[in-house]
Structure 1
Amino acid sequence: MLNYKQLNYFWQVARAGSIARASEQLDLTPQTLSGQIGLLEASLEATLFKRVGRGLELTETGRLALSYADEIFEIGAEMEQALSGGTVKQVTTFRVGIADVMPKSIVYSLLAPAMTLSEPIKIICREDKLDKLLGDLAIHRLDLVLSDRPMPEQLDIKGDNHKLGECGISFFATPALAVKYQEGFPASLNQAPLLVPSLDTAMRRRLMRWFDAERIRPQIVGEFDDSALMKAFGQAGIGIFMAPSVIASEITRQYGVVELGKTEEVQDYYYAISVERRFDHPAVAAIRDTAKQGLFTN
């Protein structure tokens, strides 16, 4: 039978990120925690952590165990509140993985419908690289992954790619830069200072193919994993940056920049990736339907 005290120690260590940090929080010695987790691994006949340098990292089995532990202790907290005379309102947890290249305003627009359902939803967002998120999706630590590209076919994961929509991209600059580079767009981008997504993004590859076709050679002055950081540099006048055309008015208003022009030749795509679960999550359909009927209608 599962020892829930040992499971709790495992849960605390996984959440804290290290045995040393968890031992301080629990006021226990690291040796005690290590011993209890060792007993749990022996009873489960599985390895939950692996050493990476001087730290610990969850194994694939450990990530699966953590997803169950999250649910177990969340339900336990609700039971404790109910039995002590409190009122408990049942809330469905919705765990979403967000590929780190996704524009935050697009993510918000996609997820907002999930918060307006008649059934209460608690949303948990995790941002990371797509391959890491798909690993968590496969072991049901996530209900959905939002990405700029579909799940690779070579992955051994039984999942579904739901295409939410697509749109062209717009280029933005401060008013001072716009004076120099707006006229004659897109040829005006030749030798212009440009801020671009990192090399491993689908958008970067599409963008460079378009530049080659148009014989445009911009001066790349910055590469970014984080689109919000790229916009901050653009707002400071370091260079011209790009964003999905569907949020162009929001970008100009929020960052005080000018839209130089846009192209439909470079498309930004958005996908919701899910796998078969023990139940159909009500938020997934809401996101898919609202994206197709609202955000990407045009």
Structure 2
Amino acid sequence: MTAYSLLDLVPIVQGGSAAQALANAADLARHAEALGFTRYWVAEHHGMEGIASAATAVVIAHVGAATATIRIGSGGIMLPNHAPLQVAEQFGTLDALFPGRVDLGLGRAPGSDQRVAAAIRRGYGGDGNDFPQDVVELQSYFADDGQTGIRATPGAGADVKIWILGSSLFGAQLAAALGLPYAFASHFAPGLLDEAISVYRRNFRPSAVLDQPYLALGFNVFAADSDAEAELLASSQQQAFVAIRTTGRGIQLPPPVPGYRESLGAQGNAMLDQVLSASAIGSLDTIRDQLAAFIARTGADELILTSAMFDHAARKKSLTIAAEAMQSL
């Protein structure tokens, strides 16, 4: 059976607050744990009023304290925003608190626009070009092999599983060269999905970490009792995608709008069709069929399921249906 996990952007809904979003994150993680999800990931985003996961390691600790067995981690930490030693210390701390449960997914994008990225990186100047070197340095801290001349405390000897994330061929090539698991962001950037899969599998070099490729793919799931209800619930995230693609700015997650897709013009619908092509929207049977088709097409070892819904109870129910669908495949 294909493994299934959860990526949570910790959405702040219109009329809500960061405190509410973080409470929902802990509740959602407990729910996912009970449903058999393999891991719960949080992504690093900055300067976005609708996302409460900017302090990613802190959010992971919050979720770890609320759960007992599910793996917890980042999908991902944007490594050019940080010195590798700092990341080693943060995730070494998480491993000390939650031993054997911590994943460290690494990306090279800023997780923000260029203005916010410049504010975050002030005094460090990382621009993504040093990403491969920084990944190797980070591995050295965890391995405690003395290559850096500095011992990370906490961090040295920590059992942290490193992943490479990406939405282009760069991450696929790096993950293959280093023999690391690879997660592709097909839930919002599916354009190079098939090519990235091919590059990763074709060029994979076995390592001390992994003897064969391990591929996880992002996939949106909006599930409900009926296809019509699921389409309605999905309109919140669709509105958010349209806003960020047309204005360049994120918004707080809006309530669902009946007939939202019909209200868009041809250009807006074409954009959503492309950006959300790795998605399943509908009832249990519909979700099961769409998940099965995606797995058959890609051969994914794991799906990282994600979705944002305005109503927290509806989102939990969607996860329940998604888990039932995955377990039946």
Q: Under a length normalisation based on structure 1, what TM-score does the superposition of the two structures give?
A: 0.30
Q: Which has the larger radius of gyration?
A: 1
Q: Higher relative contact order by CA 8 Å / sep ≥ 6: 1 or 2?
A: 1
Structure having the larger proportion of residues in strand = 1
